[in-house]
Amino acid sequence: MSTLPTSSREWHLVARPHGWPKAEDFALREVPVAEPGEGHVLVRNLHFSVDPYMRGRMNDVKSYVAPYQLDRPMDGGAVGEVIASNAEGFAVGDHVLHGLGWREYAQVPARHATKVDSSLAPLSAYLGVLGMTGLTAYAGLFEVASFKEGDTVFVSGAAGAVGSQVGQLARLKGASRVIGSAGSDDKVKLLVEKYGFDAAFNYKEPRPVAEQLKEAAPDGIDVYFDNVGGEHLEAAISSLKLHGRVTVCGMIAQYNNTEPAPGPRNLALFIGKRLRMQGMLVNDHVALQPQFVQEVSAWIRSGELKYDETVVEGIENGYDAFVGLLRGENTGKMIVSLTR
Ligand code: NDP
């Protein structure tokens, strides 16, 4: 064990952000590294995930996942290499997916570590396209929105990790038209040229989302996959056809609000159009995991499904990566890599 590192840096939340997070709300701290306890492995993290849901965990409110504690390390998805093992079935050199990100070295209970194969996919893919965000797209489209061949699908946040996969899954499964919205002209170009969307628009243009959506989907939409909420949701409700479905996956447009956001003003349309809107949590859909991995990895191998990652290097840049994600600085999955 003499080769183990003596210290590890980890990100702590030191104050609860009010509105947009500020650098002073976080601290990168150095802590000692211990040998793994009984049933634990010591993992050198190679990549960790920063995700929009983490913003909610910075608030002291009861939710589906516990809030981060002040002056404690933050956590989240990570992949790394086992450098010491005190757990049956895990050996030094194994690569594992686990939930103790935001730090260089993690003491992981073996029951919370899943071995992953770096020969099948790059390790970072297990945080994105083959991981939590990929499963969110898959389950949210096929299970929650009850997608069927011939549907016209609209997805917001379409150049992000979940959104870029939703659009491509819809196309691969026979959607008649796939439309995406994103926050820059470059992202809009990428949606059409690389991911094969039929139409896309920049929601930051001065024109209302409703107007741009009507232009992109003149005959209306069957499915709206909502990653952002707000103006997008209201616009989508107006464009939904009879028996249209909405998957409420995320509402990133309001995660930094300090006051409750007003609701869509057109909810009465649900009645005449018999619309259905359903929230989702990816953890409810883990039973789909094997089918999802099999299908999506085949599409990645054949080149039919493309994905991007925005990689920020260095633990010291973890906060910048997180805030960058909220600002839209990522294309595809935002990852912090510690491989330097
Ligand atoms: P993304 O990779 O999509 O990154 C977030 C993106 O949100 C940014 O790149 C930015 O892109 C966009 N964005 C930021 N602010 C706004 C805004 N005001 N209006 C519109 N778009 C905005 O993140 P994920 O793919 O990880 O997550 C996407 C959504 O899915 C989030 O809402 C997240 O909370 C949710 N989610 C839900 C899960 C569940 O189980 N329910 C699981 C995983 C994710 P742009 O440049 O286009 O603005």
Q: Is 235 in the pocket of ligand 1 (CB under 6 A)?
A: no
Does residue 3 carry a pLDDT above 80? no
State the distance from the centre of ligand 1 to the C-alpha of 30, rounded, in angstroms. Answer: 31
Domain ranges of the chain: 7-128+308-337, 132-283
How much is the average pLDDT of 115-132?
96
Q: What is the average pLDDT value for the chain, to the nearest integer?
A: 97
Please indicate whether the domains covering 7-128+308-337 and 132-283 agree at the CATH topology level.
no
How much is the average pLDDT of 133-158?
98
Whether 230 and 157 have beta carbons less than 8 Å apart is answered as no
pLDDT digits (tens, 9 = 90+) for 42-89: 999 999 999 999 999 999 999 999 999 999 999 999 999 999 999 999
Strand 105-109 and strand 95-98: the pairing is: unpaired
Q: Which atom of ligand 1 is nearest to the CA of 159?
A: 47
State the distance from the centre of ligand 1 to the C-alpha of 251, rounded, in angstroms. Answer: 7
Bridge partners (DSSP) listed for residue 310:
334
Q: Which atom of ligand 1 is nearest to the CA of 133?
A: 43
pLDDT digits (tens, 9 = 90+) for 302-338: 999 999 999 999 999 999 999 999 999 999 999 999 9
Q: Is 250 in the pocket of ligand 1 (CB under 6 A)?
A: yes
* Cα–Cα distance measured from residue 167 to residue 337, given in angstroms and rounded to the nearest whole number: 27
Architecture in CATH of 132-283: 3-Layer(aba) Sandwich (3.40)
Q: Which residue out of 205, 227, 327 has the highest number of ligand 1 atoms within 8 Å of its CB and is therefore the one to mutate?
A: 227
State the distance from the centre of ligand 1 to the C-alpha of 129, rounded, in angstroms. Answer: 14
**% of the chain exceeding 90 in pLDDT:** 98
State the distance from the centre of ligand 1 to the C-alpha of 67, rounded, in angstroms. Answer: 19
Does residue 24 carry a pLDDT above 80? yes
Q: Which atom of ligand 1 is nearest to the CA of 204?
A: 48
Q: Is 229 in the pocket of ligand 1 (CB under 6 A)?
A: no
7-128+308-337 fold:
Quinone Oxidoreductase; Chain A, domain 1 (3.90.180)
State the distance from the centre of ligand 1 to the C-alpha of 57, rounded, in angstroms. Answer: 15
Q: Is 162 in the pocket of ligand 1 (CB under 6 A)?
A: yes
Q: Give the pLDDT of residue 1.
A: 46
Q: Give the pLDDT of residue 2.
A: 52
Q: Give the pLDDT of residue 210.
A: 98
Q: Is 170 in the pocket of ligand 1 (CB under 6 A)?
A: no
Whether 184 and 204 have beta carbons less than 8 Å apart is answered as yes
SS (H, E, C) the chain: CCCCCCEEEEEEECCCCCCCCCHHHEEEEEEECCCCCCCEEEEEEEEEECCCHHHHHCCCCCCCCCCCCECCECCECEEEEEEEECCCCCCCCCEEEECECCECEEEEEHHHCEECCCCCCCHHHHHCCCCHHHHHHHHHHHHHCCCCCCCEEEECCCCEHHHHHHHHHHHHCCCCEEEEEECCHHHHHHHHHCCCCCEEEECCCCCCHHHHHHHHCCCCEEEEEECCCHHHHHHHHHHEEEEEEEEECCCHHHCCCCCCCCCCCCCCHHHHHCCEEEECCHHHHHHHHHHHHHHHHHHHHHCCCCCCEEEEECHHHHHHHHHHHHHCCCCEEEEEECCC
pLDDT digits (tens, 9 = 90+) for 227-282: 999 999 999 999 999 999 999 999 999 999 999 999 999 999 999 999 999 999 99
* Cα–Cα distance measured from residue 142 to residue 136, given in angstroms and rounded to the nearest whole number: 10
Q: Is 325 in the pocket of ligand 1 (CB under 6 A)?
A: yes
Q: Which atom of ligand 1 is nearest to the CA of 181?
A: 47
Q: Give the pLDDT of residue 269.
A: 98
How much is the average pLDDT of 134-138?
98
In this prediction, residue 340 has a pLDDT band, given cuts at 50, 70 and 90, of confident
State the distance from the centre of ligand 1 to the C-alpha of 333, rounded, in angstroms. Answer: 10
Whether 226 and 237 have beta carbons less than 8 Å apart is answered as no
